[in-house]
Structure 1
Amino acid sequence: MKRKTWLLAAATVLVAGTAVGGAVVAFGPTRTTPTAQESSTNTATVERGRLSAMISQSGTLTYRAQPNGSPYSVINQASGTYTELPADGDEITCGDVLYRVDEKPVLALCGMVPVYRDLRSGLAGHDVRQLNGNLHKLGYDAAAGVTIDPADSVFTWRTQQALRVLQHDKGIGLTGRLDLDDAIFLPEAVRIAKVTGELGAPAQPGAQVAQATSDTIEVQVALDPSQQGGVNTGDPAQITLPGNRTVTGKVDRLGRVAQVPAGQNTNAGDATIPAYIRLDDPAAARGLDRAPVLVAITVDEVENALNVPVTALVGKSGGGFAVEVVRPGGRRELVGVELGLFDTAGGRVQVEGGLREGDHVVVPSS
């Protein structure tokens, strides 16, 4: 049976002080106890079913960006004056005009390789492949009456023809080449997180004009380092949104570097590990950027497990645990059990021993 040692330790602390009849007791080997009237006995039923161990944490809704959670930097390469800029929250897709310098459009194209040279006929490379991929995906090759292989890394006459159609569509000079200051390559369609350039200010090549994220919302959770080993990519999660709405998701990735909160009174003991949770339905949380949420990550599960309430456990003097079973006629018997998974949400624990589904076990008075 699966076990989480940190959960077991927590449960040991919980049940170490279990009281019977108002006193804390420890039990020796399995034995029977004197008969008691059933009317004075609080019992719970031994059940069989699914148990889940969860980690519950507060989290924050945010938009996905780089793997470490930081936004993409939008680096300007044009010289002149910013005459049009996007606004915070604007969504920019591949092929859109991102901003203008001296009224000249600067396009947003999609690709992992940032722009670093003029692209013209005869050149080859990953940046050319990105351009070909954009021209094909946006349909400018078909509009030009040609077909571009999006995996082609050579700037051919087909690239030139399709690029001219794009330039005409966006109001750029029909040069048939992509100059360094014509476009910015970003990894994907983006959402503007922050505009750092100023309208009417000088546009300096190499300066950041904006910060951007993807347009996909996710949840960021700060895990205690002791919890990192219990959380894995793909673990299911339940997210409670503002207004008490609940959505589901999965752990998408885990940070590799511990983060320490900013502040004068923080130390290494305050470090946390970021975890990022992908929502199954991101549209359900749109418009809630930076909103606080509650997250429950399922780190372990067991099906069809025999289980009892954690409060039914009592400690044995020789070590281990037992439960007090009420037999027919009101007779009580201590039965030793081995513990498995603790269901942190339901307050129950998986047990193995001389118990059967439907048995009644003694629990403390509420």
Structure 2
Amino acid sequence: MSRRTRVPIGAAVLTTAVAALGVVRATGSDDATAAGGAPPPATAAVERGPLSATVSLNGTLAHRGDEDGAASPVINHAAGTYTRLPAIGDRIGCGEVLYRVDDEPVLLLCGALPAYRDLAIGDRGRDVRQLNRELHRLGDDRAAGVAVDPDDHDFTWSTRAALVHRQHRVGAEATGRVDRAAAVVLPRAARIAGTVGTLGGAARPGATVARATSDELEVQVDLEPSQQGQVRRGDRVRITLPGNRSTTGRVARIGSVARTADEDGDVGTATIPAAIRLDDRRAAHGLDQAPVRAEIVTAGVARALSVPVTALVGRTGGGLAVEVVRADGGRGLVAVRIGLVDATAGRVQVEGAVRAGDRVVVPSS
């Protein structure tokens, strides 16, 4: 089971949920008996077993962007003319050439801290540690015959040697320093989602040249206001892919910024973006911007006593009941309190004077 393994019987919100399904039948008496000569009623068994509550959403299979699902802007800091730009769908690895200005390469460096200054021997700071970590991860220090400490905040001679190796490898001028204009820092390797700059156009410092996502596919959904309190990080998800193929995943991120669908900014229509990470990325290989169906499991009960939702009837004076068929063929209403509703299975958790194996009346098909 996931985060919640028990749902209190008789929760008012679940009673409302069952009523909203429009399947609760009304009865005028708390007692019922079989009429003479009447055909036997349709029945279903009271069962004990697992139930799950789910939130069902339409989503899109897309490449991961920032925390709210958007592609990250690629900000240019070089002045000149764009002489090479990436194409939509290109995959650019950390330490590789992202684009060119005046035919000079601009490298993609990976990390959380954006580039804000030039770096050279003697500099110190978090951005230097980020550079040391990346050069070590790429293996440039070992290839240059030096050892760079990935946790070092200092730009050392070893840093310079590793950087020179990287610059030689990608065809950049081997200066042994990082010019802010010659590098772009993004959180991870990039997949180009769109370009803004124009080949042959002016490259202006501070302008967006492209937009990038990661190469990781995820399911992106929007949570309605009524769902935002139900869904949490780590919840299990069943995903239906195009072609009716299915796979599984977990809620990885829930955005922090609400979005409205109308121009008036009505908060009542605001949704929160959420992202679902696939358990098996190979299941979605070759897909992009594909519509999917996501069923997020928000609660679970391992051994719930349950009946079909359609077995519920409304009691005179309020409350709910099920109509139990006795061994002698007679029938009687038994008051029940309800708990978790499993909309996928069409069953509801009940508590009352019923037990597993009892037969309850359901509408005839």
TM-score (norm 1): 0.92
1:8 aligns with 2:15: yes
Query: Hey, what's the Cα distance between the residues in 2 that align with 1:89 and 1:13?
Result: 45
State the partner residue of 2:63.
63
State the partner residue of 1:21.
none
Question: How many residues are matched?
Answer: 358
Query: Hey, what's the Cα distance between the residues in 2 that align with 1:62 and 1:319?
Result: 48
Query: Hey, what's the Cα distance between the residues in 2 that align with 1:327 and 1:119?
Result: 84
State the partner residue of 2:28.
26
Shift, 1:187, TM fit: 0.7
8 A Cα contact 1:312 1:361, kept in partner: yes
State the partner residue of 1:209.
209
State the partner residue of 1:350.
349
Distance verdict in 2 for CA 1:34–1:82, change over 3 Å: closer
Partner deviation per Cα, 1:298-351 (whole Å, 9 max, x = no partner): 111111111111111111113221111111121212212121111111111111
Distance verdict in 2 for CA 1:353–1:5, change over 3 Å: closer
Alignment of 1:95-244 (within 5 A): 95-244=95-244
Q: Which amino acid aligns with 2:18?
A: A
Distance verdict in 2 for CA 1:210–1:36, change over 3 Å: farther
Shift, 1:238, TM fit: 1.1
Distance verdict in 2 for CA 1:281–1:16, change over 3 Å: closer
Distance verdict in 2 for CA 1:107–1:81, change over 3 Å: same
Q: Secondary structure at the match of 1:228?
A: coil
Runs of 5+ in structure 1 lacking a partner? Answer: 19-23
Query: Hey, what's the Cα distance between the residues in 2 that align with 1:36 and 1:337?
Result: 27
State the partner residue of 1:249.
249
State the partner residue of 1:326.
325
State the partner residue of 1:341.
340
Q: Secondary structure at the match of 2:322?
A: strand
Shift, 1:35, TM fit: 5.8
Partner deviation per Cα, 1:235-269 (whole Å, 9 max, x = no partner): 111111111111111111222332111557x7443
Distance verdict in 2 for CA 1:251–1:38, change over 3 Å: farther
Q: Secondary structure at the match of 1:330?
A: coil
Query: Hey, what's the Cα distance between the residues in 2 that align with 1:199 and 1:16?
Result: 62
Query: Hey, what's the Cα distance between the residues in 2 that align with 1:107 and 1:13?
Result: 56
Partner deviation per Cα, 1:189-229 (whole Å, 9 max, x = no partner): 11111111111111111111111111111112122101111
Q: Which amino acid aligns with 1:174?
A: A
State the partner residue of 1:315.
314
Shift, 1:149, TM fit: 0.5
Runs of 5+ in structure 2 lacking a partner? Answer: 1-5
Which structure 1 residue ranges, 4+ long, deviate > 6 Å from structure 2?
none
Q: Which amino acid aligns with 2:331?
A: R
8 A Cα contact 1:259 1:272, kept in partner: yes
Shift, 1:34, TM fit: 4.4
Shift, 1:15, TM fit: 5.9
Shift, 1:39, TM fit: 4.2
Query: Hey, what's the Cα distance between the residues in 2 that align with 1:174 and 1:223?
Result: 50
8 A Cα contact 1:65 1:214, kept in partner: yes
Query: Hey, what's the Cα distance between the residues in 1 that align with 2:105 and 2:273?
Result: 38
State the partner residue of 2:3.
none
CA RMSD of superposed structures (Å): 1.9
Q: Which amino acid aligns with 1:223?
A: L
Query: Hey, what's the Cα distance between the residues in 2 that align with 1:15 and 1:101?
Result: 64
Alignment of 1:263-274 (within 5 A): 267-274=266-273
Distance verdict in 2 for CA 1:47–1:17, change over 3 Å: closer
Shift, 1:16, TM fit: 7.1
8 A Cα contact 1:15 1:313, kept in partner: no
Query: Hey, what's the Cα distance between the residues in 2 that align with 1:144 and 1:103?
Result: 26
Query: Hey, what's the Cα distance between the residues in 1 that align with 2:355 and 2:325?
Result: 12
Query: Hey, what's the Cα distance between the residues in 2 that align with 1:34 and 1:8?
Result: 28
Query: Hey, what's the Cα distance between the residues in 2 that align with 1:244 and 1:329?
Result: 46
Partner deviation per Cα, 1:276-295 (whole Å, 9 max, x = no partner): 21111223223322221111
Partner deviation per Cα, 1:8-53 (whole Å, 9 max, x = no partner): 20212446751xxxxx42333xx46246568431111111111111
8 A Cα contact 1:35 1:332, kept in partner: no
Q: Which amino acid aligns with 2:160?
A: Q
Query: Hey, what's the Cα distance between the residues in 1 that align with 2:122 and 2:286?
Result: 46
Query: Hey, what's the Cα distance between the residues in 1 that align with 2:281 and 2:52?
Result: 25
Query: Hey, what's the Cα distance between the residues in 1 that align with 2:36 and 2:216?
Result: 61
Query: Hey, what's the Cα distance between the residues in 2 that align with 1:311 and 1:356?
Result: 18
Q: Report the identity percentage.
A: 55
